[in-house]
Amino acid sequence: MKTRYALSLGKPFGIKVKVHWTFIFLIAWIVIVSLNRGLETPQILMHVLFVFALFFCVVLHELGHSLTAIKFGGNVTGITLLPIGGMAHMTKMPEKPKEEFLVSAAGPLVNVVIAILIWIYLALFQPVNLEEMKFVAITRENFLVMLMAANIFIVVFNLIPAFPMDGGRLFRAALSIKMKRVDATRIAKDIGQIFAIFFILAGLFINPFLVIIGIFILLGAKGEYEMIQYQDALKQFSVEDVLNKNFAELDMEDTLGDAAQKLIHIPDNGFVIKSEGKYKGILTKNEIINGLNNLGKEGKIKDAVNTDVEPVKPNAKLFDVFQDMNRKRNYLVPVISKDEILGVLDIDNLKELILIQRAIR
C-alpha cells in the first residue's frame, strides 16, 4: 500500500513508522459515537486517548513481527498504521516454515507480554474490583483494565486462521512443513476467504469495521497467493537468464520528438537513457507522453527522464527484482555490470514468462 499521504511517527530500530491519513476517520467516528451517547468532553478525550494507547500497542505488535523477520534475513521497509490496525511492509519474508512461524507468532506474543505487564502493575500498585467497576465508558479507573482486555482481544482475533492474518500465516507455516509453499498458501488463502465472507456478512449487522477487515482479507489473501505463484515460477531464474539484449537507447540531449518517432518501433516499455556513454535513467511511454504535453516536441529528454530507476546486477535473483519492480512500479529496468549495460528487464516480458511457467507446471 502506498504511504504517500501519511504522517511519519519516527524510526524505532531504523524502521519507519507512519500513520495513514485515513486514521483521522477512526478518530472522527469515535468522537461522533461518543457524542451520540451523550458523553461529555473529558470522557470523549479519554476515549481518543485510549485509541492512541491501543495503537501504540499495535506498533509494538508490528515491531515484533518486523524485528523477528529482520533477524531471519527479512527486509522491512516500514510500518503503516491504518484504521483497522497496523501493517508491516516486508519486501523479503523468511520462507523456512519454522522462521515464518516465529515471525508470525512474534506479534501476538508482544500483546501477551503487554497484557501480563498491565496485570502485574494492577495487582501490585492499583488493585481493582471488577465487580464494582463500570465499563459503560472508558475512565481513568478502568483505562488499564480496558487496555489489557484490548490486547487480549488482539491476540485472540489475530490467531483466527484467516490468511494473511497472523493465524493464517501460522497455519500456512505449519502446512509448509509437509507440502510445497505455494500449495500451503492456496489452502490458507481459501480458508482465509471463507472467514472474510463471514466477517463481511457479520459486519453488515454488527460493526462496519468487520466489513473492512473482511475485504482486506479477501484482497490480501488473493494478492499474496499471486505473489507466491510468481515466486514459484521465477525462483529458478536469475536476471541474466532472461534479460533482453536488444534494447532501445537515447541520449539525454535528444528531444522528446525523437523519442516519440522511435516509440512505435521499439519492443520494450521505453528507452534506456545515456549521457557520455553512461546510464542516466529510464524514459517510459508514459513519461514521453507527459513530457510532450508539458514540454512539446522540442523538449529535452533530460527534463523528462526518470533518474530514480536503479540498475540491477545480472546475478540477482529474478523474483526479487520482479517484486521490487512491482512495488516501485518500474516497467523497465537496466541490467548493468562494471558500468556496461548488458540489457534490460521489461515487466511485460516477465509476466509472459510467469504465464508460460505456470502453464508448463
User: What local confidence, expressed as pLDDT, does residue 52 receive?
Assistant: 94
Q: Which residue segments constitute the domains of the chain, with CATH numbers given?
A: 6-234 (no CATH), 239-360 (3.10.580.10)
Pairing of strands 249-251, 270-275: parallel
Helix (H, G, I), strand (E, B) or coil at 266: coil
% helix, strand, coil for the chain, step of 5? 55, 15, 25
Q: How far apart are CA 176 and CA 179, in angstroms?
A: 5
Query: What's the pLDDT at 119?
Result: 95
Dist. CA 10–CA 15, nearest whole Å: 8
Residue ranges, the chain, pLDDT below 70: 1-5, 131, 361
The set of cell numbers assigned to 261 is 518517432
User: How far is it, in rounded angstroms, from Cα 126 to Cα 106?
Assistant: 29
The residue assigned the cell 516536441 is 297
pLDDT recorded at residue 4: 55
**Is the bond leading into 127 cis (omega within 30 degrees of zero)?**
no
Q: DSSP letter at 317?
A: B
Identify the pLDDT of residue 38. Answer: 86
pLDDT tens-digit readout, 309-360: 999 999 999 998 998 898 888 989 999 998 889 999 998 889 889 888 888 8
DSSP string, 31-97: HHHHHHTT--HHHHHHHHHHHHHHHHHHHHHHHHHHHHHHHTT-EEEEEEEETTEEEEEEEE---SH
Does the predicted TM-score (pTM) go above 0.85?
A: no
Q: HSE-up of 185 (CA within 13 Å, CB side)? A: 20
* Distance, CA of 330 to CA of 353 (rounded, Å): 17
Check if the beta carbon of residue 336 is closer than 8 Å to that of residue 279. yes
Closest CA to 81 of 21, 25, 28: 21
Longest dimension (CA), the chain: 80
Q: Write the DSSP string, 94-162.
A: --SHHHHHHHHHHHHHHHHHHHHHHHHHHHHH----TTT---SS--TTTHHHHHHHHHHHHHHHHTS--
pLDDT of residue 2: 44
3-state class of 295 per DSSP?
A: helix
